[in-house]
Amino acid sequence: MSKKLSVFKVIELYKESLQAVHSPEQWKYLFNHLNTGFLRFVATGMGFKRQGSQGKMTKHDTQRAWDFFRNLSSDRLMEIEDALYRGYDLLNPPQASRNTYGAAVKGCLKWTQAEGFYPGSGSDDWEQKCAPRMHQGRGGIAEMRLTERRGRYPQYGLRPEELTATQQQNEAAFRTFYSGYCRPRNLVKTLEASSIDIYLEQSRLFLGFFKNVYQPGIPEEQLNFDLLLPKVSEEDLEDLSRRETRKLWQEGIDQTDDWVMAYQQYINEFCGSFSPHTWAGKESALLAIAKFQYRTLVSRRQDFYQIPMITHLQDQCSATEVLREQWRRTKKSVVKQEDKWPDPVLGETALETLYKEVTEPLRLEARPHNSRKQIRARTSIAKSTFIFLFWYLLTTFPPRRQEDYRETRIALSCPIKKPEEVPVHGLYLPPIEFKHRKKNRNGQLADNCLSRVYKHAGKNYPEGVYVIDFNDYKTDGFYGRQTFIIPNRLFSDNLTFYDYMDRWLFGEWMQTKSVKAEVYRGWQREFLGKRMLLITAGRMDFDPKDHHQPLEDEVGEQYIWGYWWVKPRAGNKFCDSNLARSFSTLAHRLMKTPKRPTPHTLRYIWATWAFQKGLSDRQLESLAYMMGHSLETLKRMYDRSTHEDKIRPIQAAIDEVLLRDLEDVHSMAQAAFSLSEMTMMAKGLSQEERQQLIQQLLNDEPSDI
């Protein structure tokens, strides 16, 4: 239990808060009135006896009075107002003095109540302020395997340091070839750096397979692209007949097929890799290497398809694509999808289950206090804030590809002159300046950027908005640049989503009576002069590996930017696997039925939710747009609606339309009378009523009969 502060310490803290919000002249004025009020009237009313005269207090009496307050616990603060009036009665000051010094003392008491020093003022419902105990005890996610494979993947690929000088040159030339900086231009489709990296990683797996499995002991100097695809030059073909040319190519095709089939068998048996999606990636890499190998034989892009090796590999890719499409259509997968997919209760979707069982509990875990009412460690608060933010985004905002979030950048340097629309005390995260942003070879933006601004698309936002700017190479040709405002939402405890975003990016201060607190003099006007404690610096608590770029026009100055999400404690950028594993671990820990969804699983869950809820085509198009792909892709690849989901709309239509119409026809038939029944009814009419009926039938007009 923390030690109680003395009344003297509380008065000193109040003086510090006054000094922070008033000019030196005002503070001196208030300081003197406060001292007189406590030393002369409150101390006397609480039983303090002066040794000198009843006039001006001597230095000795002043020191004794402050010692008197040092020995009073803050629990005695509730007695001070009564002591003030007793001091008035004993010393009988004029009314003006009572008003002046009484206002100073009462101002201090009001401040102690607001700060939580006053007895009873800190008795809020702590259950609503503290993070619950974390649910533990399910073990690691490694125990919940998603495939039938057991054991670790064999490490058979070449490491970068094992590459020969020849292969290093090949890789550098390959990168140049697919970056668009080669002649003739437009010979192949320009690839992004990330795609080139993937292809080169696959080539190292191929070469590692040769070295460690297929041909152990092969001389290292042979480990290059020529080993995968025999190189053929114009000189090799120059003096050959057509028959000899076909034979040369066929020998190369047979040689390539031999190792490719052996490699496919190896990854099936020892890596448990049976998916055509995995194999398609490897075939695409091999086809890309083939075009690089035979680039000297062509002058136009279409000439590639006159080369037998390339047409053969293209046929293999087409056959695999047919199998991939079959797997997509039948929802077949090597991974046990049921272990990645939530088990919603009746009437609830998987998306709603994830929010209820994972996202909201993570928000509660992000509270600054633990279950013992203690302020948590700064890094713990920052980590739980990041985790909640990422989960919240993926469960309430149509999820992009994981790479889009990992690559999003933020500016850490601000312009010297603040834009006019930014409030004096507003939090401002400017967009990264254009000259410091990543661009493609055509000079167009090729990165993602997050900003917190007060004017966007010509519209002012007094409270500010978070804007994310996507320039994804996969969607650039389809949609172009996409910019979205991240919606701010209010939670049940009156915090907002932006409060958590601000905590992650700017840090957070908390009002407290801790002795470690300091008088706040920062940018948030509502905290000025209050005792505050920096409980987290957000991402900065992890010492992020931010990027510093020298400014060309200013010697010694740097422009700084960093990544939106950084790994807790490590501070560097997330990679695909560790972000997915962190995401799955949390779901496994919190869900009632342990599951292992990944960020990519959320794309399937969102698409399925849209179809389960029966969204209109217009709404589906909007969802596809925000997810960064076409409506066709949303339906063909991401929809995981069950058999019951698919037949439910037509069953409802049958019940509401067809069967209802049939019931109406049946009711009308039951209401009709036969001729004999109408005759019997007519016999029961009087003579006058019969005449009216006959006249009515002849006139065919309504009657009151």
3-state secondary structure 428-494: CECCCCHHHCCECCCCCECCEEEEEEEEECCEEEEEEEEEEEECCHHHHCCCCCEEEEECCCECCCC
Query: Residues 205, 230: contact at Cβ < 8 Å?
Result: no
Give the pLDDT band of residue 637 (cuts 50, 70, 90).
Answer: confident
Q: Strands across the sheet with 459-470, in order?
A: 482-486, 459-470, 448-456, 408-411, 558-563, 547-550
Return d(Cα 504, Cα 537) in angstroms, integer: 7
Name the least confident of 389-403, 445-459, 598-612, 645-659.
Answer: 645-659
Mean pLDDT of 463-484: 83
Give the pairing of strands 459-470 and 518-519: unpaired
Q: Convert the pLDDT of each residue in 211-241 to its tens digit.
A: 999 999 899 999 999 999 998 888 888 888 9
| pLDDT for 412 | 92
| pLDDT for 128 | 65
User: Given a cut of 50, is residue 79 above it in pLDDT?
Assistant: yes
Give the pLDDT band of residue 694 (cuts 50, 70, 90).
Answer: confident
Nearest partner of 363 among 501, 536, 467, judged by Cα: 501
| pLDDT for 669 | 57
User: Given a cut of 60, is residue 122 above it in pLDDT?
Assistant: no
Work out the percent of the chain whose per-residue pLDDT is above 90.
43
| pLDDT for 661 | 64
- Label residues 364-401 b or e (16+ Cβ within 10 Å = b): ebbbbbbeeeebbebebbbbbbbbbbbbbbbbebbbbb
Question: Residue 368, SS3?
Answer: coil
Work out the percent of the chain whose per-residue pLDDT is above 70.
90
Residue 91 amino acid letter: L
Query: Residues 205, 270: contact at Cβ < 8 Å?
Result: no
Mean pLDDT of 163-192: 86
User: Given a cut of 90, is residue 551 above it in pLDDT?
Assistant: no
Is the Cα dihedral 633, 639, 643, 644 positive or negative?
A: negative
| pLDDT for 1 | 37
User: Given a cut of 70, is residue 399 above it in pLDDT?
Assistant: yes
According to the per-residue pLDDT averaged within each range, which of 172-181, 241-250, 662-671 is highest?
241-250
User: Given a cut of 60, is residue 126 above it in pLDDT?
Assistant: no
Mean pLDDT of 529-533: 82
| pLDDT for 675 | 65
0.85 exceeded by pTM: no
Q: Convert the pLDDT of each residue in 58-69 to its tens digit.
A: 888 899 999 999
According to the per-residue pLDDT averaged within each range, which of 42-56, 96-110, 336-350 is highest?
96-110
Give the pairing of strands 408-411 and 448-456: parallel
Phi-psi region of 105 (alpha: psi -120 to 50; beta: other; left: phi over 0): alpha
Regarding predicted confidence, which is higher, 119 or 79? Answer: 79
Residue 579 amino acid letter: L
User: Given a cut of 90, is residue 272 above it in pLDDT?
Assistant: no
The three-point CA angle 608-620-658 to 5° equals 80
According to the per-residue pLDDT averaged within each range, which of 95-104, 416-425, 440-449, 514-523 is highest?
95-104
Mean pLDDT of 598-616: 91
User: Given a cut of 70, is residue 502 above it in pLDDT?
Assistant: yes
| pLDDT for 705 | 42
Is the Cα dihedral 5, 6, 11, 15 positive or negative?
A: negative
User: Given a cut of 80, is residue 663 above it in pLDDT?
Assistant: no
